[in-house]
Structure 1
Amino acid sequence: MNATGLPAWRRACRAEWTKLRTESGFRWLLACAVVVTVAVGAATSGTVRCCGYDPARLALSGVTVGQAVVAVLGVLCVGGEYGTGMIHTTLSAVPARTRVLAAKAVVVGAAVAGAGLVAVLGSLLAGHLLLPGAPSMTDGPTLRAAVGSVLYLVLVALLALGLAFAVREGAVASGTVLALLYLFPLIGHVVTDPWLQRQLSRVGPMPAGLAVQATTGLDHLPIAPWTGLGVLALWAAAGLLLGGAVLRRRDA
């Protein structure tokens, strides 16, 4: 406790929130993530004229594009401070470096969760209006796809945050995160071996994580929906652990 009566971790979270909410770029990126996700999902839904599709997955297809904005947002929260030298002030105010990482993760995760919820609800609403024969947005599989998509975006942001602490250079960190997300699907489209394609879908952060959006044909998925999201959670945890280790051992 200090004179304000707040625990140290709450003061750290409040400081991180103050920095982020006063950063106009952060707000614009959150808004951009919502708009891009809903727009791509609506555009995809509007092109479907037949049956035999997964309505929830189509409506939420914009997540595959919106995640890029979320990844850049996660990197910006760290890379911006290293670029301006503000990281020295941050670490002087909060000497416990693990607490800095945890506070940033909590604040960024909460902000992305809020924006992701708006984006997902908007995408599902657009899909409900545009897709022929779309099911109710309140059925079990669709709710799981919706909640899972919000968690997916949060985990992508945390992965980006951790790698940004490890790399420290914003452009390099952004490229690394985007490569991790999109490389596995690209390789999966290039290779011709079905077994290898299936394994890539099981271990890649993007294909495994997006399995949570599936509401039909679950028996044919390379990985179960929640298990796939767990794979992405492991990637995010690894990124945060790596970032925390670098943050503790290297000078700012």
Structure 2
Amino acid sequence: MAQPGAVLLSEWTKVKTVRSTWITLVVAFVVTVGLGALISAVSSSQFKNLSDTEKLTFDPTAVSFSGIILGQLAVIVFAVLVVGNEYSSGMIRATLAAVPQRTTLLVCKAAVVLAMVLPVSLLTSFTAFFLGQALLGSHRTTLGADHVLRAVLGMAVYMTLIALLSLGVSFMLRKPVLSLGLLMPFFFLISPILSAVPKVKAVAHYFPDTAGSQMVHVVSSTTVPFGPLEGFFICLAWVAAALLAGLLLLRGRDA
């Protein structure tokens, strides 16, 4: 029986020695911070053109995190590669032979993803916030303002939860192309489109990205019927469901 500590060390070694996984995390940082900075600069220059209602509901914290729209895609790729690389290379057979306890394997992979994504997400979140606020000029907020620190930390939590959700989906589908073929269109196209369709947007509010993104807002959304805490638990429920489904399929089939 493989010891959890040994399995964890093995998974950590496998992930950290694959260059593509590190590249995706760097891309997540650069894209999230860079796009957030660009949108913050544009928002500052166009602030005078906003309506009175838009000025009253302007959320400088959320604006600095605008880059997460694209940055989360890199986080998704990272999590998919953690599992998908082993299936595509055939290494999963050796892994399952060495670690027949499949629950232990999934938990250790999830722990490695958590250990790698959370620090990067925290660095990304604080960097995006401070750079974005600097570019917003007189329209900025501060870390000590009400609910701002919660939103900055919420941004990091959201990125981490999306990574764990993607890990669960990757265990379910096994092939990187299939996993990315589902996750990329869902987060980049399907969810945003459905959120704008009147007859189905009430359901789309409970999608993991829409619900989880409430954690990064300081000013409450006028379209989503719940706040940051509820959004966190909804997103967490999606993550738990994905990991549980991934575990059940992992335990019920061969490599």
Q: Which amino acid aligns with 2:195?
A: G
Is it true that 1:240 corresponds to 2:243 in the alignment?
Answer: yes
Counterpart CA distance in 1 for 2:118 and 2:168 is 17
Q: Secondary structure at the match of 2:139?
A: coil
Is it true that 1:200 corresponds to 2:207 in the alignment?
Answer: no
* Structure 2 residues without counterparts, runs of 5 or longer: 48-54
Q: Which amino acid aligns with 1:44?
A: I
Q: Secondary structure at the match of 1:47?
A: helix
Scaled by the length of structure 1, the TM-score of the pair is 0.91
Is it true that 1:212 corresponds to 2:215 in the alignment?
Answer: yes
Deviation at 1:222, TM superposition (A): 2.0
Is it true that 1:139 corresponds to 2:142 in the alignment?
Answer: no
Counterpart CA distance in 2 for 1:71 and 1:198 is 25
Deviation at 1:104, TM superposition (A): 0.4
Aligned residue in 1 for 2:232 = 229
* RMSD (Å), alpha carbons: 1.7
Counterpart CA distance in 1 for 2:152 and 2:246 is 29
Aligned residue in 2 for 1:15 = 10
* Structure 1 residues without counterparts, runs of 5 or longer: 3-7
Count of aligned pairs between the two proteins: 243
Counterpart CA distance in 1 for 2:152 and 2:185 is 25
Scaled by the length of structure 2, the TM-score of the pair is 0.90
TM alignment of 1:98-109, pairs within 5 A: 98-109=103-114
Give the percent of matched residue pairs that are identical in Structure 1 and Structure 2.
34
Is it true that 1:187 corresponds to 2:182 in the alignment?
Answer: no
Deviation at 1:139, TM superposition (A): 2.9
Q: Which amino acid aligns with 2:124?
A: A
Cα deviations by residue, 1:116-154 (Å, 9 ceiling, x for unpaired): 111111100111201133111233411111111111111
Aligned residue in 2 for 1:89 = 94
Aligned residue in 1 for 2:123 = 118
Aligned residue in 1 for 2:184 = 178
Aligned residue in 2 for 1:5 = none
Counterpart CA distance in 2 for 1:150 and 1:57 is 13
Q: Which amino acid aligns with 1:125?
A: F
Deviation at 1:198, TM superposition (A): 3.5
